[in-house]
């Protein structure tokens, strides 16, 4: 039968200063901290992976989700836009529109495996086991949809440099 350890008695204060309450005891295995640690919302900064040679990247952060592309959908600079972003934390891509796209565009997104997430106000898609290919296809779909909206608004299509065109 194992004996329970007794906690050492708190030292008796020897000065005339008022006694301050001790911090609550924590587990040495780190489980308490993992359970009680607050979760970071998806809009906070996430650390960039550390470079094995310099360690500098460990101190550099970027937003998560990270904005990949923004395309203006009207002739007005302050007008509605479409945005493509990528979250490393959730391993997913997101497309957001300032204005609700028509049913045909929403159907294209559904057919390509995108899901509407009400809390985020975005269409999202997991990167899956082939993230580079998923990302490239998402960029192409995003550019195509944005250019279709621009065409419907009487604007010329745009070519994004991310796709190497």
Retrieve residue 1's tokens.
Answer: 């039968």
Give the chain's domain count. Answer: 1
Residue 119 lies in a domain: yes
Residue 1 lies in a domain: no
Residue 148 lies in a domain: yes
Residue 139 lies in a domain: yes
Choose among 99, 71, 73: nearest CA to 85. Answer: 71
**CA dihedral (80, 86, 91, 92) positive or negative:** positive
Tell me what pLDDT residue 59 has: 55
pLDDT tens column, 32-73: 333 333 334 444 445 445 445 555 555 555 566 667 899 999
Measured from the Cβ of residue 55, the count of other Cβ atoms closer than 10 Å reads 9
Which string of DSSP letters, residue by residue, matches 79-102? S-EEEEEEETTTTEEEEEESSPPP
Q: Tell me the residue range of the domain where 135 lies.
A: 63-159
Choose among 106, 68, 107, 64: nearest CA to 89. Answer: 64
What's the whole-model pTM score? Answer: 0.60
């Amino acid at each position: 039968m194992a004996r329970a350890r007794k906690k050492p008695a708190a030292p008796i204060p020897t000065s005339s200063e008022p006694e301050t309450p001790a911090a609550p005891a924590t587990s040495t295995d780190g489980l308490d901290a993992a359970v009680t640690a607050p979760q970071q919302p998806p809009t906070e900064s996430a650390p960039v992976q550390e470079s094995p040679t310099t360690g500098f990247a460990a101190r550099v952060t970027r937003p998560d989700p990270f904005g990949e592309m923004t395309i203006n959908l009207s002739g007005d600079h302050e007008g509605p836009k479409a945005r493509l972003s990528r979250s490393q934390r959730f391993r997913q891509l997101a497309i957001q529109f300032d204005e609700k796209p028509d049913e045909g565009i929403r159907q294209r997104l559904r057919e390509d495996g995108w899901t509407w997430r009400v809390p985020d106000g975005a269409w999202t898609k997991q990167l899956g086991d082939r993230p580079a290919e998923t990302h490239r296809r998402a960029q192409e779909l995003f550019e195509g949809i944005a250019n279709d909206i621009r065409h419907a608004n009487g604007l010329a299509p745009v070519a994004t440099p991310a796709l190497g065109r």
